[in-house]
Amino acid sequence: MPRNPPDPARRSERARSAILESALTISRERGYEKTTIEAIAAGAGVGKQTIYRWWPSKGAVVVEALNEAIGSASEFPDSGDVREDLKAQMRSVSAALGGPELGATFRAVIAAAQSDPLIAEALPTLIIEPRVEACKRRLEGARQQGQLREDVDLDVVVELLYGPLYHRFVLHTFDIDDLQITRVVDYVFSGLSPMEHVTGDRGELRQ
Amino acid sequence: MPRNPPDPARRSERARSAILESALTISRERGYEKTTIEAIAAGAGVGKQTIYRWWPSKGAVVVEALNEAIGSASEFPDSGDVREDLKAQMRSVSAALGGPELGATFRAVIAAAQSDPLIAEALPTLIIEPRVEACKRRLEGARQQGQLREDVDLDVVVELLYGPLYHRFVLHTFDIDDLQITRVVDYVFSGLSPMEHVTGDRGELRQ
Amino acid sequence: MPRNPPDPARRSERARSAILESALTISRERGYEKTTIEAIAAGAGVGKQTIYRWWPSKGAVVVEALNEAIGSASEFPDSGDVREDLKAQMRSVSAALGGPELGATFRAVIAAAQSDPLIAEALPTLIIEPRVEACKRRLEGARQQGQLREDVDLDVVVELLYGPLYHRFVLHTFDIDDLQITRVVDYVFSGLSPMEHVTGDRGELRQ
Amino acid sequence: MPRNPPDPARRSERARSAILESALTISRERGYEKTTIEAIAAGAGVGKQTIYRWWPSKGAVVVEALNEAIGSASEFPDSGDVREDLKAQMRSVSAALGGPELGATFRAVIAAAQSDPLIAEALPTLIIEPRVEACKRRLEGARQQGQLREDVDLDVVVELLYGPLYHRFVLHTFDIDDLQITRVVDYVFSGLSPMEHVTGDRGELRQ
DNA sequence: GGGTAATCGAGACGGTACGTCTTGTCTTAGG
DNA sequence: CCTAAGACAAGACGTACCGTCTCGATTACCC
């Protein structure tokens, strides 16, 4: 006697968006750990069952809410200069991570992903990958314009760029700042080996 | 009539270590968020009051437990070839993170640090910084041997090297593997800009 | 814009009888209080709205179901000996109350009557009174044959006879048995006052 | 791993009596079916768990509350005239059953006993039997004074007396009134058979 | 015999209460 | 006094039903 999954066609869009909005608001106001499904439901004017029908856990609601809040807005700029475009985009990621709006919620989602398998799956799928793909598309463009070596693995390049940001974010070592971003991009493009080779244009590795 | 603080002289060492051990086990098994004081007490064969008497919060118990468990940082190898030394060290970090024992524990700490300020402070101080310093010492040695540019910020270099590993670890995008490690080190040293002339030694950027 | 009442002509007979059958089954199996409209609907393979369209409450469904199920009252036997006829009839009532089928159903109705005004009205009217009347007719016959005092209130006599059975049935003190029935009838006819001279026919008040 | 039953020695008397009082009040005010454990707990200023710890169900709380409310007060009067003493006691039972204070709650408990095995056991044990025993003691006294035949089964006599009251109470046929009580007692003592024997003192079987 | 209106099965919806679990405080008994 | 054990008030958990509502998809009546 298998439990039928609910029929998405009958789903109420009004309820869905009210829930996501309520989830984000409450998460922001009292922190993720003190966010309860009861409160999300009350805040959205919705029965608890409506949440349990469509999401498996509090975390799942919050990831989805977070994803909608960040927006699909992450399309990369393309000014022709890949280094500057990356820095600009990384600065906006940094602002989002550090800002009071989404930062704390994003932290909480990362925390939840460490023990909740459902979120461990949703976080990369829903939030990380689409933005990684956007970054890879920009890098691919740069490669075709000769700003990037032909043979690099773009997945690793993305990790080289954003990994340092997340390193600070999750390990609480330093705040992410423009200086870190500048150096990360410049080091990654120019390399750490003593310059036996010409980097071409911008060897400005100081400060 | 002020509440007298408990007298440390009368404290039961047996209870203390049973609590720390139980906290660690449960944190590892079900994640930090699902770790409850009730369960720690039950697992330690101890009354809840004994925990509340000596620690202010669940987080405080867990940091103390972790601090005792992880032990001190190991020194970097120095074979003369900084790239290979880094790869070796990163592989051993990768093995630890991926292993079932320390990996799960470390996930729990990272998760806890995202919401508990006590752990947010203890994690970089006690755990991360000593290891970063060891790495920086090795890099400094490399710099003096001419394997590293003079002007780079070593903190950022450490983040460039380990950030990609943590990126995979906390965001659950891919498993950390040797290939990633190889590429990270090589890209970071050689740079991503197209090589106008070969760096001489190891241009082996394929595979 | 008044809500049109449903049109009885279009009513599905299949649904109606499936609902009544399901209501009776569930009422019998888990008791009236734990009978839910949800379960009746599911058991009948019917939408909940179909029940709410035609009945105002759970109680209404159950009375209607019971009314169809119990059938009409049977006539009393008349062997000429009113005591024996009463005992015989009371034994058959006792068997019905004690039996798993009607007993459980009847328990459910009695329970329902204590809280649902609809059933509180229907139970005496539809179920009790016809049977009381049959009993009273037999007692009237006995009176005319000189087996019963002229001046007794037959309603009270019926209660004297059947009250003890229901006392055991609803209060769960003892099981109804032949011994109780025999004694009830004999005590009622012979009286409890010490016999100053024997009644002639059946003074057999022992065992 | 057997669940330890709670230790009665540690039980809070304050909580216990607040719960029973709250249960009775709410039961009276909104009816048994609409009485919820949630409301009882709130009304008593008590956690729900404290109710669930000591009672298995809502019904059990209400039976106990009812029992305390009725009071042990049921000792029988002994004026020397057993008929009058019985009538007096039956009138007070009738007043309790019919009264707005306990009548509705008692109905609900009887209803619950029809489907809840726990209440089916508690109702006779806790409430009925102590009062039946008191009645039997009075009847035994009457027997020793020669007001009652030697050979009657007192359990059946009690049922003969109270059965008719409960018959009206649970089947909703008539209201219990003084006339019924008078007739029940008189019929039971004098017997229904035409008077071939002298009843001694009071053959007043009219009206 | 085709249009249309109401019933049907199904089930999502906003709610209330359920019975369980955990929290942090308070109380009891024993060493 | 400190310990373990655990009752306590509070309140969130995830589930079950409530009674209402909205869906297509059959009916069954009326033109």
Which comes out higher in pLDDT, residue C176 or B127?
Answer: C176
Cα gap B176→A75, rounded to integer Å: 27
Interface test with C, best of D110, D159, D198, D201 (most C CBs within 10 A): D159
Instruction: Express each pLDDT in D157-178 by its tens digit.
Output: 999 999 999 999 999 999 999 9
CA of C16 to C1' of E2 (A): 30
Structural tokens at position A132: 């990684």
Ordered DSSP codes for A85-107:
HHHHHHHHHHHHHHSTTTHHHHH
Structural tokens at position B102: 């320390």
Structural tokens at position D95: 């007043």
Structural tokens at position D138: 């009075």
Which comes out higher in pLDDT, residue D99 or C86?
Answer: C86
pLDDT given for residue B2 in this prediction: 42
Supply the mean pLDDT for chain B.
84
Residue D17 to chain C, least CA–CA distance (Å): 26
Print the SS3 string covering chain D. Answer: CCCCCCCHHHCCHHHHHHHHHHHHHHHHHHCCCCCCHHHHHHHHCCCHHHHHHHCCCHHHHHHHHHHHHHCCCCCCCCCCCHHHHHHHHHHHHHHHHHCCCCHHHHHHHHHHHCCCHHHHHHHHHHHHHHHHHHHHHHHHHHHHCCCCCCCCCHHHHHHHHHHHHHHHHHHCCCCCCHHHHHHHHHHHHHCCCCCCCCCCCCCCCCC
Task: Please tell me which of the candidates B34, B170, B187 has its beta carbon nearest to residue A160.
Answer: B187
Residue B65 — very low, low, confident or very high, per pLDDT cuts 50/70/90?
confident
pLDDT given for residue C171 in this prediction: 96
Closest-approach nucleotide to residue D38, Cα vs C1': E17
pLDDT given for residue B75 in this prediction: 79
- Chain A residues with CB under 8 Å of B153 CB are 183
What are phi and psi for residue A56, nearest 5 degrees? -80, -15
Interface test with B, best of A155, A162, A167, A176 (most B CBs within 10 A): A167
Cα gap C154→B207, rounded to integer Å: 106
Residue A9 — very low, low, confident or very high, per pLDDT cuts 50/70/90?
confident
Cα gap D136→D130, rounded to integer Å: 10
Closest CA to D170 of D130, D126, D114: D114
CB-based contact D171:C128 (threshold 8 Å): yes
Closest CA to A166 of A106, A117, A122: A106
Instruction: Express each pLDDT in D1-22 by its tens digit.
Output: 444 567 778 899 999 999 999 9
- Chain D residues with CB under 8 Å of C174 CB are 155
Say yes or no: Cβ of B183 under 7 A from any atom of strand F: no
Cα gap B2→B122, rounded to integer Å: 30
pLDDT given for residue D135 in this prediction: 95
CA-to-CA separations, A67 to A63, B75, C34, C61, C174, in angstroms, rounded: 6, 41, 44, 49, 67
For residues C152-169, give the mean pLDDT.
97
Cα gap B171→B94, rounded to integer Å: 15
Instruction: Express each pLDDT in B9-64 by its tens digit.
Output: 667 788 888 888 888 888 888 777 778 888 888 888 888 888 888 888 888 888 88
Residue B171 — very low, low, confident or very high, per pLDDT cuts 50/70/90?
very high
Asked if B194's CB is within 8 angstroms of A197's CB, the reply is no
Instruction: Express each pLDDT in B108-131 by its tens digit.
Output: 888 888 888 888 888 898 889 999
DSSP A128: I
Cα gap A182→D194, rounded to integer Å: 117
> Is the per-residue pLDDT at C139 higher than 90?
yes
Residues of chain B above pLDDT 70, percent:
87
Cα gap D71→B191, rounded to integer Å: 91
Residues of chain D above pLDDT 90, percent:
64
pLDDT given for residue D41 in this prediction: 96
Q: Which of C121-135, C162-176, D2-16, D53-67 has the lowest mean pLDDT?
A: D2-16
Q: In b/e form, how buried is each residue of B142-164, taking b as 16+ CB within 10 angstroms?
A: bbeeebbbeebbbbbbbbbbbbb
Q: Which of A185-194, B22-31, C127-136, D28-37 has the lowest mean pLDDT?
A: B22-31
Name the residue with tokens 């008593």.
D44
Residue B5 — very low, low, confident or very high, per pLDDT cuts 50/70/90?
low
Query: Which residues are CB-contacts of D183 (< 8 A; sequence separation ≥ 6)?
Result: C152, C153, C156
Instruction: Measure CA to C1' and name the residue nearest E19.
Output: D52
Closest CA to A173 of B162, B128, B138, B73: B128
- Dihedral angle, C-alpha C6, C7, C11, C16, nearest 10 °: 50
pLDDT given for residue B201 in this prediction: 47
Tell me the residues of chain D between 90 and 119 that have a Cβ less than 8 Å away from chain C. Answer: 107-108, 110-116
Structural tokens at position D63: 């039976």
Name the residue with tokens 């949440």.
A51
pLDDT given for residue A197 in this prediction: 47
Asked if B128's CB is within 8 angstroms of A187's CB, the reply is no
Say yes or no: Cβ of D11 under 7 A from any atom of strand E: no
CB-based contact B120:B126 (threshold 8 Å): no
Interface test with D, best of C150, C187, C201 (most D CBs within 10 A): C187
Highest mean pLDDT among A105-109, A191-195, B102-106, C28-32: A105-109
pLDDT given for residue C10 in this prediction: 79
> What is the identity of the amino acid at D204?
E
Q: CB count, 10 Å around CB of B91?
A: 15
Cα gap D65→D83, rounded to integer Å: 31
CA of D8 to C1' of F6 (A): 12
- Chain D residues with CB under 8 Å of C195 CB are 149, 197
Instruction: Express each pLDDT in B130-151 by its tens digit.
Output: 999 999 999 999 999 999 999 9
Which comes out higher in pLDDT, residue A205 or D109?
Answer: D109
> Is the per-residue pLDDT at B206 higher than 60?
no
Residues of chain C above pLDDT 70, percent:
89
Q: CB count, 10 Å around CB of A153?
A: 16
